[in-house]
Amino acid sequence: MPQSLPARTLILFGLVNLPLSMLMSPTAAILPNFYIEHTAVTLGMMATVTLVSRLFDGFTDPIIGVLSDRLGSRKPLMLVGALVCALAVWQLFRPAPEAGLGYLLGWYLLLALGWTLVEIPHSAMAAELNRDYQQRNRISMWRQILGFAGGVLFMASPMLLGQGKSFTPEVMAALAAFVALTLPLTLVWMCWRVPEPKVHGQHRIRPGDMLQVLRTLPWLRHFLLTQVLFGLATGAVSSLFVIYASQYLELGDSIARIAVPMTLAMVLSMPLWLQLLKRVDKHRLWAVSAPGMMALLLVIINIEPGPSALMPMTITMTLFGSMMGLSALVLPSMLGDLVDADLVHNGRDRAGILFAFQALVVKLNQGVGGAIGLSIPVWFGFSAEGALTDSAVTGLKLAFAGWPCLLLAPMVVLAWRYPLDRKTHSELGATMTASNS
């Protein structure tokens, strides 16, 4: 068995993810309203930026994946990306009142590029730090815990800075300074203290490998399809959580009291999942968690609205958060196992390309899953203005629970039947050891 990496190395490696995680999901949640309130940007302009940025990601993510693999070293791209992020976040979070579409689009795309330049090589390097089936779970756990910590710090920044609950220009400027300073510093520290593993076959990586790896690695197709179903389901839940809790359950003033325990459960559950993963294969535990998520969603749509809904909603969403913590832990680890399978079967380490595929799937799930989830209530006549009709309530419940459950049902079967289990990976490890000796 490969030597276990010390916790301090994993923390130092994962620390990069703390400022990095503050640039995507939290930013996507806060930035639209901030720009609409404090600049000349309109809601329609915001929608245009979101669409263009997704198209931009579809072009840049695979290219960066190929470059990361072809260079042989992951660190140069990450260092460039950190500097790009520092420049972009400093401008993006500090707009002038007259800033419009061009300003927002330009700096947002530059930030997306910088984030990808760090995220894809960092994810690929995480898969290469240790090729043991269980040790990968430890690497993933520390990276995800520190990433969640960055998200919590971002959302709590107004209170920490004495600005109440509002993301004022002063708060955004402070966040810009924090990220612009800490991301390059943590990355330089990581590059200095964490040795980069040796990888193989990099001189043969070509752009055509993006399609070739899908053709020659059927386990990757199986994994990505399973993740698409899971991500579309959870994307719908995420997009509707605030709307469902505030518009139907009448808990608009208590969103933070539900969201904070849910987020903490994602983080605090990971060490518990890690212990269970010593005995249960990753894909099997992930498969078993999905029916639990379905059951929790069905419980939620049977909660009666009003003040009494706060306690059961908090409990169920906290449990749901713990299961989301499991998926955040096992998915990068499972993809790391696929990197080994590709190395054995095709003789090349294409971790960058594989994680570029996953980055695209995650962004697709967030965009499409959220769009579908928001559209279903509209089809049933939902409107945030005025009283809810019985039809609108039905639409909310179908979108928040019915549609996700419909997606999670086949996901359970696919995840359970995923072929790259602990035994198969052990055989791959033996092959790699024999080849290196």
Q: Quick one: how many helices (H) and strands (E) in the chain?
A: 19, 0
Residue 272 tokens, joined = 């518990």
Residue 269: helix, strand or coil by DSSP?
Answer: coil
- CA dist 10 → 66, 100, 143 (Å): 25, 41, 8
- Is residue 137 within 8 A of residue 6, CB to CB? The reply is no
What single letter denotes the amino acid at residue 430? A
Secondary structure element (H or E) that encloses residue 75, with its range? helix 75-92
Please give the chain's pLDDT, 437 residues, in tens: 457 889 999 999 999 999 999 997 777 778 877 888 899 988 678 878 877 887 898 889 999 999 999 887 899 999 999 999 999 999 999 999 999 999 999 999 999 999 999 999 999 999 999 989 999 999 999 999 999 899 888 888 888 888 776 788 999 999 999 999 999 999 999 999 999 987 655 556 777 888 889 999 999 999 999 999 999 999 888 878 888 988 899 988 887 788 888 888 999 999 999 999 999 999 999 999 999 999 999 999 999 999 999 999 999 999 999 999 999 999 999 999 999 999 898 888 899 999 999 888 887 887 778 778 878 888 898 876 677 899 999 999 999 999 999 999 999 999 999 999 999 999 998 888 777 65
Q: How far apart are CA 49 and CA 95, in angstroms?
A: 15
Furthest CA-CA distance within the chain? 71
> Nearest Cα to 313, choosing from 369, 254, 392?
254
Residues 168-211: tens digit of each pLDDT? 899 999 999 999 999 999 999 999 999 998 765 555 677 788 88
Find the length of the chain: 437
b (16+ CB within 10 A) / e for 39-65: bbbeeebbeebeeebbebbeebbbebb
SS (H, E, C) 111-175: HHHHHHHHHHHHHHHHHHHCCCCCHHHHHHHHHHHHHHHHHHHHHHHHHHCCCCCCCCHHHHHHH
Provide the whole-model pTM: 0.88
pLDDT for the residue 286: 97
DSSP code at position 387: P
Percentage of the chain with pLDDT > 70?
96
pLDDT in tens, 313-322: 999 999 999 9
- As a whole number of angstroms, the distance between CA 264 and CA 277 comes to 20
Spatial distance between the Cα atoms of 386 and 397, rounded to a whole number of angstroms:
18
Task: Using DSSP, state whether 11 is helix, strand or coil.
Answer: helix
CB atoms within 10 A of CB 180: 21
- SS3 (DSSP) at 165: coil
SS3 251: coil
Residue among 5, 8, 117, 136 nearest 60 (CA): 117
